[in-house]
Amino acid sequence: MKIFIIATLALIIYIAIDLIFDQQMWDANTTLTIYLQSNQFNGEKDMFLVFSYSLYVLPSIAGIAFLILNNKLGALLYGGMILFSVASNCLLKNIYHQARPFFIVEDIEPYECNKEFGKPSGHAMTSQAMCFLLPSILFPAIWKDQPNYKYPLYIRFLVIFLITFWTFMTGFSRVFMGVHSFGQIILGWAYQAYISIIYMIYFHHRILNYFKQCLQVGQQGISIRVINVAGLIVFSWTCVAILFLELNRNVFITPAVATQWMTAVYQKCENQTTLYTIQSPSVLQNICFSMSLYIWFMLSFVFGIKLSKGIYLDNQFRINYQKLSFWKKTLRILVLIILLALLIPFYFIKFNAVYAQAFGQVVPVSILGGLFITVAYQKLLSLFQISVPGDFLQIISSQAVASDGMSFEMQAKSS
Q: Please spell the DSSP secondary structure of 70-112, one letter per residue.
A: S-HHHHHHHHHHHHHHHHHHHHHHHHH-PPPHHHH-TTPPPSS
Per-residue pLDDT of the chain (415 residues; tens, 9 = 90+): 889 999 999 999 999 999 999 999 999 999 999 999 999 999 999 999 998 888 777 778 888 888 888 888 999 999 999 999 999 999 999 999 999 999 999 999 999 999 999 999 999 999 999 889 888 888 887 887 777 778 888 888 898 999 999 999 999 999 999 999 999 999 999 999 999 999 999 999 999 999 999 998 888 889 999 999 999 999 999 999 999 999 999 999 999 999 999 999 999 998 888 888 888 999 999 999 999 999 999 999 999 999 998 888 888 888 888 888 999 999 999 999 999 999 999 999 989 999 999 999 999 999 999 999 999 999 999 999 898 888 898 887 654 434 433 444 444 444 4
Alpha carbon distance 169, 172 (integer Å): 5
186: phi then psi, degrees, rounded to nearest 5 = -65, -40
pLDDT at 413: 44
Q: How far is CA 262 from CA 106, 113, 131, 344, 355, in A?
A: 13, 11, 32, 27, 20
User: What amino acid is encoded at 179 in this protein?
Assistant: V
> 402 forms bridges with which residues in the sheet?
none
Burial 383-405 (b: 16+ CB within 10 A, else e): eeebbbbbbbbbbbeeeeebeee
pLDDT at 397: 62
- Counting DSSP H helices and E strands in the chain, the numbers are 20, 0
| Cβ proximity of 51 and 169 under 8 Å | yes
Cβ-proximal residues to 161 (8 Å cutoff; 6+ apart), any chain: none
Alpha carbon distance 187, 353 (integer Å): 30
What is the reported pTM?
A: 0.91
Alpha carbon distance 408, 95 (integer Å): 50
